[in-house]
Copies of this chain bind each other. A is one copy, B any other.
């Protein structure tokens, strides 16, 4: 680290490590699991390749990220220390939510970010293991009593596999829209346990029930 605030304070120390531009966004993307250099580059519109390389170098030097290489494929993943950035990212996410009435134009959308934000809404109300499939991208959500895990990648086993468009999923997550209606219109398809999908939605504060009254959008409800 070249530039430092030179303050004996946890906040300042943390910002010395992860306060530079792009650093926390890289960590956010890595929270969903290991990523390759090109994935990170594509997922962070606006970052330049030299800066991404520099940030990864800094993160590795500080012990927050490690580089892995398996069968010639290099990847980056958070270390145990780096995973402790999660509370920071969740707190930032909750705060930023106040300013997310809707996507502004030029805003990039990423269903992975939506899934990450859904983690904050877990109520502990139910358990479920779900695979969400958005075209080529697969996510696994595992909700247990004491923890929630959201990862990108092919899951091992899930009670249900749900194929859904990002728009429909965002509508269900943020807009209080009904999964059933999206299913009728063909933008959502369930394989496996429909009950698990219901449990998942209940656990994350989504609208549940075929004939339930129209709920207010979660955008307005989130704590």
A74 proximal to B (CB < 8 A): no
A108 proximal to B (CB < 8 A): yes
**Residue pair B96, A11 in contact (C-beta under 8 Å):** yes
Closest chain B CB from A40 CB (angstroms): 14
Q: In the complex, which residues of chain B have a beta carbon less than 8 angstroms from the beta carbon of A97?
A: 10, 13
A6 proximal to B (CB < 8 A): yes
Question: Copy number in this complex?
Answer: 2
A46 proximal to B (CB < 8 A): yes
Closest chain B CB from A166 CB (angstroms): 11
Most B Cβ at <10 Å: residue of A14, A89, A113:
A14
Identify the A interface with B (CB < 8 A): 5-19, 21, 24-25, 28, 45-46, 81, 84-85, 87-100, 103-104, 106-110, 113, 117
